[in-house]
Amino acid sequence: MPAEPAQSKIIPEAAHEPGEAKRRPMYDFPVHPASGAKKPGPLTGIRVIDFTHFIAGPLGTMMLADLGAEVIKIESPKGEDFRQFPPADPALGGEGSPFLWTNRNKKSVVLNLKTREAQEIVRQMVAKADVLVENFSSGVMERFGLGYEDLKTVNPDLIYTSVSAYGRSGPYADRLGFDTVVQAESGFMSFNGFPDRDGIRVQPVIMDSSTAMMAANGILAALFRREREGGGQRVEVSLYETSMIMVGYGAMQYLMNGVEPSRIGNSSNDTAPTGVFHTSDSAFFVSSSNTAIFQRIFRLIGRDDVADDPALQDRMERLKRREWMREILAEAFARKPWAYWEPKLREANVPAGEMRTLAAALHSDETRAANLVTRVPHPTAGFVPNIALPIHLSDSPVVDPVAAPILGQHTRSVLEEMGYDADGIAELRKAGAFGPFEPK
């Protein structure tokens, strides 16, 4: 395990005060171990030029970075807005910690795209890149002279990826869209919540996250096709189109039989008994997706008569009698604590899990057993948390995590790799290619 990094004048003293481990939960987790002689990631050698901001785009490109791609994040002189999402963290220079979640393993280069000089730098980058990803409003990249039609002449093998709200063409291409908006429009909210209230959003950014996965998958498919046949292409994904996948099989149920899913809280339209039950000291969720599980649940509480009831072997009959079954289970489970029921449910092979807060989930035995949470060095904060990519490859694992970059951290080094010397960088600065930003 690597040693704690030495203090320097750019690391706030607070980051290493004796009480810091008590104030920041990340100090409950180990430093991410170095891989040593680990083989390179499967996307090693792939270069991605990343013009994305907020979540759907950056999370998708971070997945590529975790798999070994070199991802060069292009930011304006003030940085992308997601850097300012709360809560502001003094250890990060006043930026918010959410930015860390979507920008691991990337390089940050500051360019003022309103200048011809910066646009020319991008074209030079694209000439030697494999992938470009952008999620600006429709038309922005074209106004900079960096649209797909512009850049495919620079690099015919380029995979040009656009992440948008409603697509890059058609009557809604100009619309702005956000995760919660498409949760509402897609019908996703309509079957979340309780029947006596409006449908509700889910707090995690599920549409952004799933769109990021769609983008990464589209890019990988395009790279695979290029490897076999040659040639680049355009990849497009949108929040709204992705949302129609995320509503799940309810869409197919409606299209086949005209029945829309209804809001029934923590229960289920399809299975019973399913939902939240309370022990004497906690609450847990049970999913009863088939007859065998239904039988195991009732045998567990000593009600073989219910488990073997001929009528209840039919799923639809169980749905009709869900409340009756719930009352029986609720009374039984309330007699003992979770520590009593948890091993019995597991031994009986009943899918059930304790209702946890986020903090409890992050500190849980399951999370620790999977090595999902560690911490990694950061140039100003000392350490920042790291949540692992949940992909495991036996022969080309994900790369060691590096914290999200400080704004413009790699501007000078990337330009030097491109062949610019000190005088050339000074000329670019004079021409306004970096805005007020000073490449370090």
Task: Give catalytic residues, as residue numbers.
Answer: 208
How many residues would you count in the chain? 440
Distance CA 215, CA 238 (A): 9
Q: Is the dihedral of CA 329, 334, 335, 338 positive or negative?
A: positive
The DSSP code sequence of 232-271 is -EEEEEEHHHHHHHHTTTHHHHHHHH-PPP---TTS-SS-
Strands 283-286 and 352-354: antiparallel
Distance CA 103, CA 82 (A): 10
Distance CA 405, CA 104 (A): 7
**Closest listed residue to residue 188, CA positions, set 136, 103, 248:** 248
> Which residue spans within 321-372 are E strands per DSSP?
352-354
Distance CA 179, CA 240 (A): 9
Distance CA 311, CA 239 (A): 44
Radius of gyration of the chain (CA): 26
Distance CA 252, CA 45 (A): 41
Cβ neighbour number for residue 232 with a 10 Å cutoff: 21
161 forms beta bridges with: 133, 235
Cβ neighbour number for residue 300 with a 10 Å cutoff: 18
Cβ neighbour number for residue 417 with a 10 Å cutoff: 10
